[in-house]
């Protein structure tokens, strides 16, 4: 078999495996999604349709980016790049990211589905000049602080990451946790608000429970 025939055989074999995995209609949807993904960025591997990007020019995708269906990114600040993804980021279904200043996501980050990440919220609720209870919610002043998610972080299902949070590299956030304060590297955090329950001990080479 010549080189052309070998290439055709490889393509046919690959399509056969795709059919077995996704079925006929699923394979057609996958082909559509791959083609649409290349219209987003040459770095994008696959973004499954439907998706919604507000301020697409303010979003930077790293090589190998993939996402499930329903990805929504709102980048509506004034900085040149407000949402930045590192290399090989994988997102599940229905991830929503909102940025007025900066949301930075490192390399090899893995997210499950229905995750919310935002660098802003409405109103002031601590200290002086707090927002009055009767004030219309949409008229309350926006509070903005950058979010940074380090390399090799894993976010479980339904996690919320709020403004000003930094999550250190190699950390894991348990399902349905709400992260209101920064999490150090090599940690496992769970709960609402999320608290560190384990940290990786480099000398012991194992995860060690954190008291309190």
- pLDDT, one tens digit per residue, over 24-58 is 777 788 888 888 898 899 999 999 999 999 999 99
Contact 91, 71 (CB under 8 A): yes
Q: What is the pLDDT of residue 77?
A: 74
For 100-125, write each residue's pLDDT tens digit: 999 999 999 999 999 999 999 999 99
38's CB contacts (< 8 A; 6+ apart) are 44
Tell me the C-alpha distance between 36 and 124, whole Å: 41
Domain ranges, ordered by start, for the chain: 1-40, 44-209
Per residue in 142-156, pLDDT (tens digit) is: 999 999 999 999 999
The token pair that represents 16 in the structure block: 């056969």
**Is pLDDT at 1 greater than 50 in this prediction?**
no
| % of the chain with per-residue pLDDT over 90 | 76
189: helix, strand or coil: strand
CATH of domain 44-209: 2.160.10.10
Mean pLDDT over each residue of the chain, to the nearest integer: 90
The confidence score (pLDDT) of residue 54 equals 94
Tokens of 22: 């996704």
Exposure of 98 in the CB half-sphere (CA atoms within 13 A): 13
């Amino acid at each position: 078999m010549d080189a052309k025939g070998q290439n055709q055989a490889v393509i046919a074999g690959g399509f056969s495996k795709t059919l077995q995995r996704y079925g006929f209609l699923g394979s057609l949807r996958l082909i559509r999604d791959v083609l649409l993904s290349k219209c987003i960025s040459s770095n994008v591997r696959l973004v499954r349709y439907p998706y919604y990007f507000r301020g697409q020019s303010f979003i930077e995708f790293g090589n190998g980016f993939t996402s499930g269906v329903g990805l929504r990114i709102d980048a509506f600040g004034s900085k040149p790049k407000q949402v930045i993804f590192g290399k090989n980021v994988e997102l599940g279904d229905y991830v929503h990211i909102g940025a007025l200043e900066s949301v930075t996501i490192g390399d090899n980050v893995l997210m499950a589905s229905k995750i919310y990440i935002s660098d802003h919220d409405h109103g002031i609720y601590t200290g002086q000049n707090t927002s009055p209870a009767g004030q219309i919610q949409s008229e309350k002043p926006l509070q903005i602080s950058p979010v940074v998610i380090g390399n090799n972080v894993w976010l479980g299902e339904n996690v919320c990451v709020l403004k000003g949070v930094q999550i250190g590299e190699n950390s894991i956030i348990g399902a349905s946790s709400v992260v209101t304060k920064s999490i150090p590297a090599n940690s496992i955090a769970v709960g609402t608000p999320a608290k560190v329950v384990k940290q990786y001990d480099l000398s012991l080479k194992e995860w060690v429970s954190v008291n309190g």
